[in-house]
Amino acid sequence: MKKHTFIAIFTLSILSTQPLLAKGNSSKEIPYKELELFSKTLSLTDDAYVEEVDNKEMVLGAIRGMLSTLDPHSVFMTPEQYKELKADTEGKFGGIGLEVTFRNDVLTAVTPMEDSPAKKAGLREKDKILKIEGTSTQELGFSESVKKLRGPRGTKVKLTILHEGAKDPVDVTIVRDIIRIKSVKWEVLEDGYGLIRVASFQDRTTSEFQKALSKIEAKSKLKGLIIDLRNNPGGLLDEAVSLSDLFLTSGTIVSTRSRDQIIDKREAADNGEEPKFPIVVLVNGGTASAAEIVSGALQDQKRATILGTQTFGKGSVQNVIDMGDGYALKLTIARYFTPNGRSIQATGITPDVIVNAKGQSGKKYNKDVYMREADLKGHLKGDGEKDEKSDTNSQNEDTKKSEDAKNSKTDFQKNAALDYLKTHSH
C-alpha cells in the first residue's frame, strides 16, 4: 500500500504533507482588477496613513484575511507557528495539555488531554479562557493565545477561566509539563472481555494496539472487545487505516475526494489473522477526524457496533505547503468519505446504539455537551447538515445531565458496551 502521512493537531485537523497537485484551473481568469485594487489600497495606505506603516505586516494581514473567508481549518502560518506545528508532529511539547478553539471570539476549551496539567487543574470542555497572564485572549487572538499556553516544563501560567455554567470567572495557575499523549491504554474488564483506549492516532499506535490486544488475550480468551475512541481528536491517517485493517478482510476503509473527484482510496487487506470476536466502539462529541474514520469504516463494514453519542463531524483534509522563508499554508484540499460513501462533515457518525454519559438511551439523548465542527464559524457545510438551533432549548436539560455525569465515577457508556457484548457474543 502506498504510504501517505496525515497528521491531526489541536484544531482537530487531518494534515497532509503530500505535494499539492494542480487541479487543472489554468484556464481560470486571474483577478487582475481586484489585484490592482489591492495594490492601490496598499500604496495609498503606505503614502497617506497618519503614521508609518509596515508593508510586510499589512500584506501578511491581507493573506490572513483572505484565508479567513474560507473554512476555519485553512490558515496562513508564520515561521514560529510552522515550527510549532512540526513540534506537534513529534508528539511532545511543553504546555498544559489543553485542546482549544476560538468560539464566538472567545478562546474555548475543546477537551483537556488525559493526565495533563489542564485536566488536573479541573479544566473542562466549553470552559472559556478569558485571560492568559492578565491579557485578554480576545486581544491576543488564537495563535498568540496558544503560544502563551505553551512554555518550558516547570514554568507557571495563570489563566482566568469561566467554567461552563458558572457566573463568575476564577484564576487558575497551572504548572506546565512535557505533554506526551499516551496513545493506547488497555484493561481486562472481566473474564473474556477487554477494553483498549486509543487517545489519539500517533506513529506506532497500531503496533501499540496490537501489543495491548496480545496482553489482554494472554490473560483471557476474548469473547468481545471494546475500542474506546471517546475524546480522541484524531491523528495520523495511516494509523487509523492500519488499525481498521486489523479487523477487516476486504473493501474500502476510507476515500478522499476533492471537487467531486476521488484523489485517494484505502483498501483493507486479508492477512488471515483478523479476529472474529464482536466489537463495540465507544464514541462521543469529542471523537473526531481519524477517530471518525475508524468508527465509520467499522460501522459501514458491519464489523463493529458504534455506541455512545454523535461524533464531532470533522470530515475534511488539510495540506501543509511550505511557502518559503519559514512560512506555510494549511489549506483544506479534500473531504473524506466512509466505505458507503458517507461524508461526515459537520454531521458526524451516528451511533448504532445511543447512550449518553448519564446512561440515558434513545435518539433524544444523541447530543452531549461537546462543541462540534458545525459550531465553528465558516465551517464547510456537510451533505446532510441541518440547522438544529431550534432544538437548543429542548436539549438544555439533557446537556446539564450529561455534564453532571462527568463527575460520576460510573462509566455508564462502558457498562452499556460490556452488556451489549455479553448479549451478542457467542
- How many helices (H) and strands (E) the chain has is answered by 10, 21
Return the amino acid letter for 379. H
CA distance 296 to 312: 12
CA distance 64 to 167: 34
Burial state string for 59-72 with b = 16 or more CB within 10 A and e = fewer than 16: eeeeeeeebeeebb
Residue 300: active-site member: yes
The catalytically annotated residue of 177, 300, 368, 398 is: 300
Q: Please, which residues bridge with residue 16 across strands?
A: 6, 319
All residues at 6 or more sequence positions from 203 whose CB lies less than 8 Å from its CB, including other chains: 91, 236, 239
Rounded to a whole number, what is the distance in angstroms from the first to the last CA of the chain?
34
Return the amino acid letter for 153. R
CA distance 219 to 195: 13
How far are the Cα atoms of 36, 72, 241, 423 from residue 361, in angstroms, in the given order? 59, 33, 30, 17
The catalytically annotated residue of 126, 128, 314, 367 is: 314
CA distance 323 to 209: 37
Pairing outcome for strands 156-162 and 135-136: unpaired
Q: Please, which residues bridge with residue 76 across strands?
A: 329
Residue 289: active-site member: yes
Q: Which has the closest alpha carbon to 400: 376, 374, 424, 365?
A: 365
CA distance 326 to 334: 25
- Joined together, the cell numbers standing for residue 15 give 494534515
The catalytically annotated residue of 289, 316, 343, 402 is: 289
Q: Which has the closest alpha carbon to 143: 244, 35, 67?
A: 67
CA dihedral 118→169→365→373, nearest 10 degrees, is -70
Residue 88: active-site member: no
Catalytic residue IDs: 289, 300, 314
